[in-house]
Structure 1
């Protein structure tokens, strides 16, 4: 998984092939084919691995906020940073474009878990809509945030303020800092 992650971050989702990963880890294509079953199996395993990392980052920020050690803005920042740093947006885009939607299941499960966690902690806001908006903005930012921000004449981080404004609108209240 480390080799696949490195390929994703350095060369993009299209570079994450069984053959390329096999070369990186000193194995044969057949060995990885046996382990993952197919390129889609490798992509699903990579999506699971990244979903766990992204989830841990976001859930950690949510828990910090609950403990009074962080803000809701920290949760927004954690999501954007996790998607950007891990290459999650590019992997999600690649999986969707190649119509291997079943490989998105780990990402879907992570989103569902975050929503359940927030509801279980007593959050009465529309966390489903808030999470959907924030996730889609973070994915878009990780895919083309720099280019779109430049075209708009804005700093790339401006999208986080857009996210905060949208979440505040859905929540019906300002985010606490």
Structure 2
């Protein structure tokens, strides 16, 4: 993901904020959460540290805004897979894959880990809200299974996989994708039935 500097041109506050979030996301994915600083983001978009302070208030404000942005993207991906399943166009396995893929691709696990380790847990609120919404959607559709427990297990596995899945799987002598099979078996055990392929 390339970062396009804004340069000296005048842009709206919304455009400036969006460019900063895109730069923060690119830094997160490329270099990890520790690289997402106000200074680094400002440099990448051709703005000043003060300009970013104006938009986000603090580094924690930037992290929260990034968490909100990532939560929207992850949520859209997972909710899309759930809707396809509901229409009979997708399977439960595709919902599981969408969750794991979204956490890996968007750097969500890395951001969640960083926020938790720096004890800025209020910045996790967008992720919490997204999980709550996904559970409500599944319950509203009449899903009689324990979707709260299923979502808890899947989310924690997806976060762990996005943080260190490759290394842990290698240490176990397994393929990284094995964790998805573990997730399927976990959901089947909680649901009391085999998942549809």
User: TM range, normalised to the smaller chain?
Assistant: over 0.9
2:134 is equivalent to residue 114 of structure 1: yes
2:94 is equivalent to residue 74 of structure 1: yes
| 1:58, distance to aligned residue in structure 2 (A) | 0.1
2:88 is paired with a residue whose SS is coil
**Greater relative contact order (CA < 8 Å, ≥ 6 in sequence):** 1
- 1:54-65 paired onto structure 2 within 5 Å: 54-65=74-85
Residue in 2 that maps onto 1:26:
46
Pairing partner for 1:83 from 95, 100, 103: 103
Pairing partner for 2:153 from 114, 133, 144: 133
2:142 is paired with a residue whose SS is coil
Q: Rg: which structure is higher?
A: 2
Gaps of 5+ in 1: none
- In 1, the alpha carbon distance for the partners of 2:111 and 2:191 equals 30
Is the helix fraction higher in 1 or 2? 1
Stretches of 4+ aligned residues off by more than 3 angstroms? none
The CA RMSD measured in Å over matched residues stands at: 0.3
| 1:148, distance to aligned residue in structure 2 (A) | 0.3
- In 2, the alpha carbon distance for the partners of 1:47 and 1:112 equals 15
- In 2, the alpha carbon distance for the partners of 1:34 and 1:19 equals 13
2:41 is paired with a residue whose SS is helix
Alpha-carbon deviations, 1:35-87, whole Å to 9, x = none?
10000000000000000000000000000000111000000000000000000
> What is the number of equivalent residue pairs in this alignment?
177
- In 1, the alpha carbon distance for the partners of 2:45 and 2:136 equals 38
1:10 is paired with a residue whose SS is helix
- In 1, the alpha carbon distance for the partners of 2:104 and 2:25 equals 13
